[in-house]
Amino acid sequence: MMHHSLSLPNPTLSARPLSQPLRPRLHRIHAVSTTVAAPRRETDPKKRVVITGMGIVSVFGNDVDKFYDRLLEGENGIDMIDRFDVSTFPTKFAGQIRNFNSEGYIDGKTDRRLDNSWRYGIVSGKKALENAGLGLKTEAFNKINKERAGVVLGSGIGGMSAFSDGIENLIGKGVRKMSPFFIPYIITNMGSALLAIDIGFMGPNYSISTACATSNYCFHAAANHIRRGESDIILAGGTDAVIVPSGMGGFSACRALSTRNDDPKTASRPWDIDRDGFVMGEGAGVLVMESLEHAMKRDAPIIAEYLGGGVTCDGYHMTEPRSDGLGVSSCIQQSLQNAGVAPEEVNYINPHATSTPLGDLAEVNAIKQVFKNTTEIKMNGTKSMIGHCLGAAGALEAIATIKAITTGWLHPTINQFNIEPSVEIDTVPNKKKQHQVNVGEYLYL
């Protein structure tokens, strides 16, 4: 299965800055027809969900601000793979994380056993807590009711290197040489489980695995737990690390990846006429999501507000998207309704934009169906610089979206040489732009 397929469920999430707690700033909202009832936005502080912390592991390092600074500069994180021999592989490049260091976040013995996916997830989760003023040794952290604190950390594939190494040992050396951690470290829920064990959170704990859409499902689920009064605070996001021989080989066999080995820096080129497939990436991203009431009681640093999301499925084909984008457009409409947002309020979109021939245009078609006037909307492709991080992609791009909201700067979509004529929306080509974001929306197919 191609894990960027539109045949998978499609969540979309909306977020805005919490500059005015009870209603949006009206002078930043485009006119809405008075004949149509405005969507109703949540006002109950127990049900309003805010983001108070962000943590990241990426090809640009483990610091959120530095990650976004490098995106703003249009820096390219794609390079030749040196983690294993790729001489016989059709695709020899990726957004590979180098020099990752978990010191201070994972003890050495555990770190040596773990699959990279879980290492990335644990570090990004603990960094998100620190960013939220909830470092593990702080008084604020100790005051949290751990029974009402959860972890929903997803993975599209799970522990792929642990799986590959285990099978290699089984075939080459026999069953007695398999690690006792083989099963625990390959299952997709282990990211949530290990993080919860480390920090003592006893509330909702599970992993959602919906390929590229994984992180967005986790955000949506976490917000619903909070809105239903089941939790006060949840760590939510995604992690994946499949830049291993079986991962790259499998996606190459699907013919999903770009094969631009002579020029990997320009391989990921969303909406460009000459795009030839996506570029593999890896990493993790975690948000601290909590009720507005809980955040205000502990005087938390409120970064943005989660307004809502939607979930749909194309019901069409395993790998090929619907060209009209119907599954995506219906999901966007559902998301807007759930968020209490009129289409005219949205002026920034961080789309999936994988750099695949069919997917990029199907997504643009869907956006055009919902947002009839796109002259004020800007959209950019984060994957042009970091590649497609599978289950972690939505989390990394959620963080990019939040940084766009809080900084007023949009990172460029690099490698925009010859944009498809039908893509009439501003893609922020090759150079960052200032943009006052009212409501930001990010899509996952």
**Three-state helix/strand/coil letters over 282-328:** CEEEEEEEEEHHHHHHCCCCCCEEEEEEECCCCCCCCCCCCCCCHHH
Query: Which of 1-15, 203-217, 324-338 has the highest mean predicted lDDT (pLDDT)?
Result: 203-217
Task: Place 224 in a pLDDT band, splitting at 50, 70 and 90.
Answer: very high
| pLDDT beyond 50 at 334 | yes
Return all residues near 112 (Cβ < 8 A) that are at least 6 apart.
Answer: none
Place of tokens 């922020």: 428
| pLDDT beyond 90 at 19 | no
Question: What are phi and psi for residue 215, nearest 5 degrees?
Answer: -60, -40
Question: What are phi and psi for residue 220, nearest 5 degrees?
Answer: -65, -45
Distance in angstroms (rounded) separating the CA atoms of residues 11 and 394: 10
What pLDDT is attached to residue 316?
87
Q: What is the mean pLDDT of the chain?
A: 91
Q: How many CB atoms lie within 10 A of CB 361?
A: 17
Share of the chain above pLDDT 90, in %: 85
Q: What is the mean pLDDT of residues 361-386?
A: 96
Q: Which amino acid is at 13?
A: L
- Please tell me the total number of residues recorded for the chain in this structure: 445
What pLDDT is attached to residue 39?
64
Distance in angstroms (rounded) separating the CA atoms of residues 315 and 318: 9
| pLDDT beyond 70 at 26 | no
Task: Place 66 in a pLDDT band, splitting at 50, 70 and 90.
Answer: very high
DSSP three-state, residue 126:
helix
User: Could you report the per-residue pLDDT of 135-188, keeping only the tens digit for each?
Assistant: 999 999 999 999 999 999 999 999 999 999 999 999 999 999 999 999 999 999
Catalytic residue numbers read 212, 352, 388
DSSP three-state, residue 324:
coil
User: Could you report the per-residue pLDDT of 285-298, keeping only the tens digit for each?
Assistant: 999 999 999 999 99
Q: What is the mean pLDDT of residues 44-57?
A: 97
What pLDDT is attached to residue 33?
29
The region of weakest confidence among 226-230, 233-237, 266-270, 331-335 is: 331-335
Smallest CA-to-CA distance from 148 within 45, 49, 234 is with 234
What pLDDT is attached to residue 249?
97
What pLDDT is attached to residue 399?
98
Task: Place 17 in a pLDDT band, splitting at 50, 70 and 90.
Answer: low
321: which DSSP letter?
Answer: P
Q: What is the mean pLDDT of residues 44-72?
A: 97
Question: What are phi and psi for residue 393, nearest 5 degrees?
Answer: -60, -45
Task: Place 323 in a pLDDT band, splitting at 50, 70 and 90.
Answer: confident
| pLDDT beyond 90 at 3 | no
End-to-end CA distance of the chain: 14
Tokens of 142: 């100790």
| pLDDT beyond 70 at 119 | yes
Task: Cite the beta strand spans of 335-432 per DSSP E.
Answer: 346-350, 378-379, 409-410
Can you spell out the DSSP letters for 36-100?
SPPPPPP--TTT-EEEEEEEEEBTTBS-HHHHHHHHHTT----EE--SS--TT-S--EEB---S-
User: What stretch of H or E contains 383?
Assistant: helix 383-386
What pLDDT is attached to residue 317?
83
| pLDDT beyond 70 at 326 | yes
| pLDDT beyond 70 at 34 | no
What pLDDT is attached to residue 13?
59
| pLDDT beyond 60 at 22 | no
β-strand partners of 310: 12
Distance in angstroms (rounded) separating the CA atoms of residues 123 and 89: 31
Whether 248 contacts 87, CB under 8 Å = no
| pLDDT beyond 70 at 235 | yes
| pLDDT beyond 90 at 272 | yes
Q: What is the mean pLDDT of residues 205-218?
A: 96
